[in-house]
Chain A
Amino acid sequence: MSRFWVLFKSTAVRLSALYILLFAICAATLVFYVTAMSERLLSGQIRDAVAQEVTQVQRAYDAGGMNLLLRTMERRARQPGANLYLIAGPSGDILAGNVASVQPGVFEEQGWTSVPFSYQRYTDSGVVGHTAIANIFVLDNGLRVLIGRDLGEPERFRVLVRQALMIALAIMGLGAIIIWFGIGRNALKRIDRMSDAGKKIMAGDLSQRLPVGGSGDEFDRLSVSLNNMLERIEKLNEGLRQVSDNIAHDLKTPLTRLRNKAADALDIEDGEVRRSALEGIISESDQLIRTFNALLMISRVEAGSVAAEMSPIELSAIVADSAELYEPVADEAGMALNSEIEPGIEIQGNRELIGQAIFNLLDNAIKYSADTECAGSVSVKLRRRPDGICLSVADHGPGVPPGRREDVLKRFVRLDESRSKPGTGLGLSLVEAIMELHGGTLELSDTEPGNAERPGLTVSMVFPARPA
């Protein structure tokens, strides 16, 4: 029973119940209309037939008087399935005819009987009632003539039609109920399966997916989009877990080092030595603060909270400034910094963030290709491409193997396992987050494809072309 109620609660079943009700009302209306119409049609035909006979009988009376009238009526009355023929006196007593008796009072009327009346045939035994309608007219000698027709046939026809329609309606209704129950139950089962999967997911098993039937119906589409959402959540969750793991690891190491240095400094007697030890501690903490700042920055950029500060900025000028800023740094590292900047390129963006992204790329390019024996050069290019605006920074360092390109964008991932170079491992993550905020993409490629030894790395920031 409770199962039934659960079923009834489902939208599908409730909707079907409503449909069935509406359908039944329509069908019943149809049945009554059809029978009423056919009845009217039949009684019309009956009246026509009776009226025709009345005319013929009257004509016979006019032509041959009472004699011909009686003969005509007798002949007609003997035919199989004959109509009702009666002649009655002025007081209504039956003088002749093929009917034993009629409902009293019938002869008081003239013309069509207003309602069907009952009568008895000679063949009838007991109280089997027949009903008929009739036309009554008065002859000039005062006799009344009744010509009528039995209503049994149209009555039977009406009952038959009504029965047939009722049966058809019942079958249709039953079919509808069965079909809808089937569908409702099916829907209910699928929803049950979905909510079961949902419970498992809530319990922490993010790898669970909602069942997809494969029919491509609404349920499948819902499941597919929920599954896509789950996939994204799982990925984010995984990313978050990895980041917190990395944070824990990457911050634990310098914190431990910091602690040890501080402990060592406590024991140093010589003021000068101790000062330098403490300065070391300060710079170590500064590095930690930088890491935290970079992390905060990334999460803020990813959250999109800086989006409000977007304005038209001249990218060409920013790139030129950055190149100017880093030129001495490259020079110091024994490299040339070449720039090819297409003038007048504007984008919608945040100058601070774009600046920081370019600084990070230049910084990386110089840092990772500097100490290689033929360091070569770093080049900055800003140009329009058919698919947007491309800002690329290319170096001739060891490059990043294609398989690891996705990794280096992750937080705290550094290819240089020994961490011999200073850095937080957050630079490219920040650049990527900034590009995402600007609706652009970050592309990593070889500067010199085919140079197995030193392919170099080209990082391209591709901004979407501004609609003109």
Chain B
Amino acid sequence: MTSPQQEDALSLAEKQPAGNVGRMKILIIEDDLEAAVYLTKAFREAGIVADHASDGESGLFMGSENTYDVIVIDRMLPRRDGLSVISELRRKGIHTPVLILSALGQVDDRVTGLRAGGDDYLPKPYAFSELLARVEVLGRRKGTPDQDVVYRVGDLELDRLSHEVRRGGKEIPLQPREFRLLEYLMKNAGQVVTRTMLLENVWDYHFDPQTNVIDVHVSRLRSKIEKDFSQPLLKTIRGAGYMIKDEG
């Protein structure tokens, strides 16, 4: 076991909002035991309870018998293929959000994974921070149907119908892309969103942007929504991504 000090250093948990949706409970279906142990531990440090199943059949059983917020599933599993587990769950009327982990390619396999009923797709190798951010977004998505017309974070307001952004009653003019960026951040307020997630959801490209493209866009947006205001809203989470949150 690592010492508490080291755990602290490794953990991203303390940067995360502790339990604003209660304690999340997830199921990890992964046949690589070492990876599973690491994931379970890392999720626990992030305040998420994680069960583990080591093959497709037991994964399907656990997923059908218990209620989870998110299921993280490896695509290639013994006894039952990951995609077939997902289709079977969906057939049984279980709509728990599923995140597929795969060592397979990122372009076409992603599409097949999502077609099979998966909600998100993360190619291996991945950074844990990326997985954590995606799991948290998926877990929260389940609770709140996306029906709000106006998103609010502190004194910042975004109207999804009129495409207007106001802060403290003052309108902030944004480019269409900046609007979508802010919309996605605010939709997931209090959650870490990674650069890859932003590229996926705002620009609709599904790969690792490699460089600081996203950072530049975020910092432009930040300067627009934080200029003339003392209270910062848009935070950079080192090693992970961004989060919009009212800490006032």
Chain A interface (Cβ < 8 Å from any Cβ of B)? 271, 274-275, 278-279, 282-283, 285-286, 289-290, 292-294, 296-297, 300, 305-306, 308-309, 321, 324-326, 328-329, 331-332, 350, 352-353, 355-356, 359, 363, 367, 422, 424
Contact = CB atoms under 8 A, between A and B. Distances in A.
26 contacts: A271-B8, A271-B9, A279-B239, A282-B129, A283-B239, A285-B127, A286-B239, A289-B126, A290-B208, A293-B123, A293-B125, A293-B208, A296-B105, A300-B105, A300-B107, A305-B108, A306-B105, A308-B108, A321-B203, A325-B217, A328-B216, A328-B220, A352-B107, A352-B206, A355-B207, A359-B209
Contacts of A326: 213
Interface in B216-239: 216-217, 220, 238-239
B5 interface: yes
B217 A328 contact: yes
Given A294-B210, A352-B207, 5 more contacts: A279-B238, A286-B239, A306-B108, A325-B213, A424-B210
Interface string B170-193: 000000010000000000000000
A247 to B, nearest CB: 15
Interface string B90-111: 0000000000000001111001
Contacts of B129: 282
B61 interface: no
A216 B178 CA distance: 67
Contacts of B162: none
A271 B211 CA distance: 29
Contacts of B216: 328-329, 331-332
B161 interface: no
B35 interface: no
Contacts of A329: 211-213, 216
A20 to B, nearest CB: 60
B127 A282 contact: yes
B1 interface: no
Contacts of A363: 210-211, 213
B108 A309 contact: yes
A405 B180 CA distance: 40
Interface residues of B, number: 30
Given A292-B125, A321-B203, A325-B203, A306 B239 contact: no
B149 interface: no
Nearest to B177: A324
B10 interface: yes
Contacts of A308: 108
A274 B216 CA distance: 28
B211 A422 contact: yes
B38 interface: no
B242 to A, nearest CB: 16
A353 B106 CA distance: 10
B105 A297 contact: yes
A353 B210 CA distance: 14
Contact of A355 (B105, B111, B205): B205
B203 A275 contact: no
Closest 6 CB pairs of A and B: A300-B105, A328-B216, A309-B108, A306-B107, A289-B125, A329-B216
Interface in B36-80: none
A437 to B, nearest CB: 11
Nearest to A309: B108
B167 to A, nearest CB: 21
Contacts of A297: 105-106, 207
Interface in B112-160: 123, 125-127, 129
